[in-house]
Amino acid sequence: MRDRELLRQILEASRDLWDQPETRPAVRENFAKMLDCRTPALGAEVFSSETEEKFVYHTCKSPACPSCGYRATLLWQREQWSALPDIPYAGLVFTMPSLLWPIFKQNRHLLHDLPALGAAVIEQWMKAKYGVRLLIMVVPHTFGGYLNFNSHLHILVSAGGLQEAEGRWIASLRFNKDSLMRMWRFAVITFLREALKRHVLKSNRNGKDLSRILKSEYERPRWIIYIRESMSKRHFLQYAARYARRPPIAQSRLLRVTDREVEFWTKDKKQKRSVKTRYSLQDFVAALAEHIPDRYRHAIRYFGL
């Protein structure tokens, strides 16, 4: 069975689980569109000649659709190749401790502000260190390799910046991992403390427990940050394409689907190899639904220049 049909099989078999009034609207809308992807339900373009007629059915364009995600990635690469200057670039990943993931999972409205927090950290540090402004693209992700909820940011930046005071371009900038880590840690914890103070943070825990968790995570000596510096424009777009329009799970990772479970492969970072993972049908669909963004939430946010 083709990979696209495997995902359709999963959604059809689980429709009574997700097609319910209490389901988050974005989930119902996107899952329904994915079922209709490349079918007459979404309409078609008709190409005809004197001897032949061909129907090309419309795609769903859902951010969770592996087929549409792949095409969106190729289109995004072509657009960025024309738009971006031919200069060196860098890629950063801002993560957070796993104890904070459930807070964002239960408070999806807070996810919208994370890209601005990450961009502000880089802008503030670069302004203080070099007096420059950068080109910054932020791609928020909520999924890990196992489809677990893992909130983090992929940040794509120019490796040079505009020094506005003197009107010149500084071509070679270095990123200090420790300084950026401390600023990111402060930004996230301060943001969550303010949300708690304004009573806009829902949780199964009480306020005292949440305050204790935030204090503990702020005192955690190390938050993980990755930095990949000095990529050419071509390599930068190849790197960025892995994240910019990436759906939660690729078609090629789906291995087997039954009425009861879904099997897929993932890269285990600890074991440093690909492993097979099995979820019940219900758990797989629930995990996939967590990574469907709400409507009007942008997949890519732009800051700086």
Q: Is residue 157 within 8 Å of residue 122, measured between CB atoms? A: yes
The domain segmentation of the chain, as residue ranges, is 3-304
Residues 192, 148, 211, CA angle at the centre, nearest 5°? 20
Whose tokens are 């890519």? That residue is: 300
Do residues 122 and 136 lie in contact, with contact meaning Cβ atoms separated by under 8 Å?
Answer: yes
Mean pLDDT to the nearest integer, 186-212: 92
pLDDT by residue (tens digit) across 244-286?
777 888 888 899 888 899 999 998 877 778 899 999 999 999 9
* Residue 4 confidence (pLDDT): 57
Q: What is the overall mean pLDDT for the chain?
A: 89
Output the pLDDT for position 1.
41
Residue 93 backbone zone (phi > 0: left; psi -120 to 50: alpha; other: beta): beta
Rounded CA-CA distance 3/114 in Å is 33
Contacts of 239 (CB under 8 A, 6+ apart): 91, 156, 228, 231
Q: Quick check: 164 and 133 in contact, CB under 8 A?
A: yes
Give the residue-averaged pLDDT of 53-57: 90
Check pLDDT > 90 for residue 93: yes
Plot region of 47 (φ>0 → left; ψ -120 to 50 → alpha; else → beta):
beta
What mean pLDDT comes out for the span 34-38?
91
Q: 225 is written with which tokens? A: 């940050």
Residue 287, C-beta contacts closer than 8 angstroms, at least 6 positions apart: 147, 148, 279
DSSP per-residue letters across the chain: --HHHHHHHHHHHTHHHHSSTTS-HHHHHHHHHHHHTTSGGG-EEEEE-SS-EEEEEPP---TT-HHHHHHHHHHHHHHHHHHS-SS-EEEEEE---GGGHHHHHH-GGGGGGHHHHHHHHHHHHHHHHH--B-EEEEEEEEE-TTS-EEEEEEEEEESSEEETTTTEEE------HHHHHHHHHHHHHHHHHHHHHTT----SS-HHHHHHHHHHHHH-S---EEEEEEE-HHHHHHHHHHHHT--SS-GGGEEEE-SSEEEEEEEETTTTEEEEEEEEHHHHHHHHHHTSPPTT--SSEEEE-
Residue 150 above 90 pLDDT? yes
Give pLDDT tens digits for 98-115. Answer: 999 999 999 999 999 999
Radius of gyration of the chain (CA): 22
CA 42 to CA 128: how far, in whole Å? 51
